[in-house]
A and B are shown apart, each in its own frame.
Chain A
Amino acid sequence: DAKTTQPTSMDCAEGRAANLPCNHSTISGNEYVYWYRQIHSQGPQYIIHGLKNNETNEMASLIITEDRKSSTLILPHATLRDTAVYYCIVRPSPIQGAQKLVFGQGTRLTINP
């Protein structure tokens, strides 16, 4: 499985866009990029996933570079409740059965008032 690299921590002002980078330079053609977050000590929460096209949902946008070696999660208008650890995970195609997620240490995002 492809390894991901994320900054250890980031800060963002409330109301601004939070842009969280993820490097996955060894990603293969059938691997998807998933983003989850963990608020304080709660269970992780799914945010978004994609293969090669940019994706958007009610929570965030995912921008994947053309060569797929990196991606950026965008929270368009960050609020204090978005303070969490954000995990970027690369996994094989969904058709290959159970998704055995591998969580690294993620990025600790702090939203400041």
Chain B
Amino acid sequence: NAGVTQTPKFRILKIGQSMTLQCTQDMNHNYMYWYRQDPGMGLKLIYYSVGAGITDKGEVPNGYNVSRSTTEDFPLRLELAAPSQTSVYFCASSLPFGQPQHFGDGTRLSIL
């Protein structure tokens, strides 16, 4: 099993550019999550989804958009990249009812 796969692993963007961070899971998990982690800090929840077609905001959603058209995929979109969005982005998935979250290896994004 691949688990949770994130692409790309690294990316450098210029201010104002847009990009999509990809996340796919092969565990048939209903729930999926996007977190960001700034240097030396814990993870903060950006958006989450409890199933295809259903998404909701987390703690720090500003500047991001998500969609969930299939159970497997949960892409994160940055429309106008800003230096404050320089971070490591982690995608996770889980079964319902408080089951453990499984994380991908992250996408390291720099906005210059």
| Beta-carbon contact of B98 and A32 below 8 Å | yes
B50 at the interface (CB under 8 A from A): yes
Q: Interface digits, B87-107 against A, CB 8 Å rule (1 contact, 0 not)?
A: 010101010111111111110
From 68 to 113 in chain A, residues with beta carbon under 8 angstroms from any chain B beta carbon are 87, 91, 93-95, 97-106
A-contacting 9-mer, from B13-21, B40-48, B65-73: B40-48
A103-B43, A105-B42 given; A46·B100 CB < 8 A: yes
Q: Decide yes or no whether A43 CB sits under 8 A from chain B.
A: yes
CA distance A64 to B102 in the complex (A): 24
Q: Mostly helix, strand, loop or mixed at chain A's interface?
A: loop
Total inter-chain residue pairs, C-beta < 8 Å? 70
- Tell me if B45 and A100 are in contact (CB < 8 A): yes
- Indicate if the CB atoms of A43 and B90 lie closer than 8 Å: yes
Give Cα distance in the complex from A49 to B42, angstroms. 19
- The answer to whether B97 and A101 have CB atoms under 8 Å apart is no
Q: Which single member of B40, B88, B99 contacts A94 (CB below 8 Å)?
A: B99
Inter-chain CA distance A113–B90, complex, in Å, is: 31
Closest chain A residue, CB of each to CB of B31: A98
Using Cβ atoms and an 8 Å threshold, which residues of chain B touch A97?
Answer: 50, 96
Task: Check if A94 sits within 8 Å of B97, measured CB to CB.
Answer: yes
Chain A nearest CB: distance from B39 CB in Å? 10
Given contacts A32-B98, A41-B106, A44-B103, contact A100 B42 (CB under 8 A): no
Question: What is the minimal beta-carbon distance from B26 to any residue of chain A, in angstroms?
Answer: 16
Which of A87, A91, A98 is in CB contact (< 8 Å) with B42? A87
9 contacts between A and B (CB under 8 A): A41-B88, A43-B103, A44-B43, A94-B97, A94-B99, A99-B31, A99-B94, A102-B42, A103-B42
What 5 A-B pairs have minimum CB-CB distances, sorted nearest first?
A94-B98, A43-B103, A103-B42, A46-B100, A94-B97
